[in-house]
Structure 1
Amino acid sequence: MKKLITVFAAGAAMASFGSAANAATATADATAEILQQVQISKTADLNFGTIVPDDTVAGTVSVAANAAGTRNCGGLTCAGGALVSSAAFDVTGANGLSVDVALSGLTQLTSGTNSMPISLSASSTTLAMTGSAVALYVGGDLSVAANQPAGTYDGTFTVTADYQ
C-alpha cells in the first residue's frame, strides 16, 4: 500500500508540472499622467469709468475685451478715461493643451434699487496653454437709460477656465 501511495503522489505532481509548462504569461505596464491644475488669477477689474446720462436718450457704453480696454461711449458723455479698463486675468495650465473659458453671474450692475443691464464678452473662449500665463480679457456693453439715476453701480461675475 505504501508503494501505491508513492506512485499516486508522483503521478499527481507530474500532472501539475505538465499543465504549468504549457501556460503562457504576459506583462503590461500601468501609467497615469497628472496634469497641472488650471489656475486663473485676476489682474484688473472691468471699469466703465464715469458716464453722464442724457436726459432723453438711452445709450450703450462699451469696453473692449482687449489689453487696452478701449471705451466707446455710444453717444453719451463719458469722463474718467484713466479709470477705464477691461477685466484682465492670467490663466495657466499644462503646456500644449487647450482651456475653455466661460463667463457667468452678471446680467446687471446695481446701485441700491437702481440697475443697468450689462452683457459681457471674453477676448477668447478657448486658450492655448503655453507653459506660462496666458492673458484673458473681459469687456462688456452697459445699457444706460435716459436720465439714469446717479450712483456707483457694481456687480460681480465669474470666469471659469477648464481643460477641454
Structure 2
Amino acid sequence: MTVIADPKAPRIPRSGPGRRSTRGNTELYAWVFMRVSGVLLLVLIFAHLISNLVVGEGVSQIDFAFVAGKWATPFWQVWDLTMLWLAMIHGTNGMRTIINDYAEKDRTRLVLKSALYLAFAVVVVLGTLVIFTFDPCPVGAPADLLPSFCSDI
C-alpha cells in the first residue's frame, strides 16, 4: 500500500533544526521575472505594432527606408534592443523550464539546454550587432546597390 503524505503537514527543514534553506530562490526569481517580463513585453510589443502599423500609412509604409529611418534614432534602437533582449530571455527561460520538466535523462537535459543557450547567445549577439551597426548607406558601396534615399547624402 502506498501512503501519500498530507500536503498540509509541516515540512521538515532541510538545512538543520528550525532553519530555512535559501537554495531554490533562483526558480522563484525566474518565476517573478516571467511575470514582469511578460507584462513589459506586452507594452513594448503593442506600442511597437501601433507605431508601425496604425500610425501613418499602415503596413504599406514598412520597407527598407522605414526601418533605416527608425534605426537612425537612438530611441528606436533602444526600444527594439529591449524587445529583443527581453523576448529572448523570456523565451529561453520558458524553454529551460520545459526542458527541466520533460527531459528525463541528465545527458539529454544537458544537450538540450546547451543548444538552447547557444541559440540564445547567437540571436542576441547578432541582433544587437544589427541594431547598432546598421548603416543603410555604407561608404564606398556601388551606387546601383544603394537605396534611392542614399543618393541625397
Interval of TM-score (by shorter of Structure 1 and Structure 2): under 0.3
Counting strand residues as a fraction of each chain, which structure ranks higher?
A: 1
TM-score under structure 1 length normalisation: 0.19
Which is greater in Rg? 1
Which fold has the larger relative contact order, with Cα–Cα distance below 8 Å and residues 6 or more apart in sequence? Answer: 1
Counting helix residues as a fraction of each chain, which structure ranks higher?
A: 2
